[in-house]
Amino acid sequence: MRVIQSITSIQSLSQERIDNMHQLQQQSYLVEQQLLGIDPFPPLLETKQGLAASDEACLIRCDVENILGFLQYVVTDNQLVINKLVVRPDYFRQGIGRDLLQSLIKQKRDSSILVETAQKNTPAINLYEKLGFRQTTQFYVEEGIEIVRLERT
């Protein structure tokens, strides 16, 4: 059985849960790093302590024993910003990311939702667009990565 847990602050989670999320994040971002061809890849530099110190909210998709994915976000006024959408690599393209996004959209239907991802991350862009996000801006960050900003209103 798979469930989605809504967490108001990552700081409220147990150290074991944070360790599991960090390990999952590392596995997923290694795949993204290879897809984008970027080394070093900034998201891989986040430590367990950095994740544990986050006061951001998140949705966690689990089965009986494992975290399969999580979505980390912040809410400001009438806008929500997704900072991470992470899925276990062996569960890619099995609906985990879609389920997390749909759950967030349902919970926050009165908010516009923003997300940024690398232009080369075609699977993520396709997922966001299937769920009603539209590209609004493209820009480069310091590391030379072209970023796409998408918004769902």
| Long-range contacts of residues 66-74, Cβ cutoff 8 Å, at least 24 apart | 66/20, 67/17, 67/20, 67/21, 67/24, 68/2, 68/96, 69/24, 69/96, 69/97, 69/100, 70/21, 70/24, 70/100, 71/97, 71/100, 71/101, 71/104, 72/10, 73/104
Residue 80 Cα to chain centre, angstroms: 13
Phi, psi at 100, each rounded to 5°: -65, -45
Position 61 scores a pLDDT of: 94
Residues lower than pLDDT 70 in the chain: 1-2
Cis check for the bond before 43: say yes or no (omega within 30 of 0): no
CB-neighbour burial class of residue 97 (10 A; exposed 0-12, middle 13-18, buried 19+): buried
Structure tokens at 26: 């590392």
pLDDT tens digits, residue range 52-81?
999 999 999 998 888 999 999 999 887 899
